[in-house]
Amino acid sequence: AVACGVFALTTASIHAAKVKTEDELIADLASPKEDEVASTMLKLEKQFPTSPKTIAAVKKYLGDNRAKVRRKAARVIGVLHAEVTSEEIKTICALLKASDSREIMDGLIALRGLKAVEALPEITPLLNHATPNVIRDACRTVAKLGNKEHVALIEPLLKHADAKVQKDAQDAIFE
């Protein structure tokens, strides 16, 4: 029984030692490895969601030259509903011009979590994108940020060839 107790204490100590502080995680964002940076952003999002220090650190990566890093930074900022400047919204909107549809969708998802009404002129053209999933995310984002005047832009999607696009258009109109 004593051996089990010692083992449990040792195991607990090891696990406690593995938990990094906010400052240590922020320092890890400087890694050249994009997977490590993205993983660290997720840890910061989960462990320090209301910390101004975390939000400020993640914002620095919105315009990173690594797609995975800037996508994750935008998603985290959106999930945390962070206050953003017009310049930061413009930086997130740059994701909407990417050739990779996943990057576009991450930008749309991020903007949905922010008070980014000013981004609507960048978002509405995506209602005509070639990729159905981009159209669907654009519908959801316009529904979240837009108003009744945007219904006319979504209505044609009720007849889209993709049934999922039709459903998201219907949900967006009646939201």
Nearest residue to 79 (alpha-carbon basis) of 53, 102, 57, 46: 46
The per-residue pLDDT string of the chain (175 residues; one tens digit each, 9 = 90 and over) reads 544 444 555 555 555 557 899 999 999 999 999 999 999 999 999 999 999 999 999 999 999 999 999 999 999 999 999 999 999 999 999 999 999 999 999 999 999 999 899 999 999 999 999 999 999 999 999 999 999 889 999 999 999 999 999 999 999 998 7
Pair of tokens at residue 55: 């939000």
pTM, rounded to two decimals: 0.85
Q: At what angle do helices 67-79 and 86-93 cross, to 10 degrees?
A: 130
DSSP 3-state assignment of 85? coil
Count Cβ atoms below 10 Å from residue 162 Cβ, excluding itself.
15
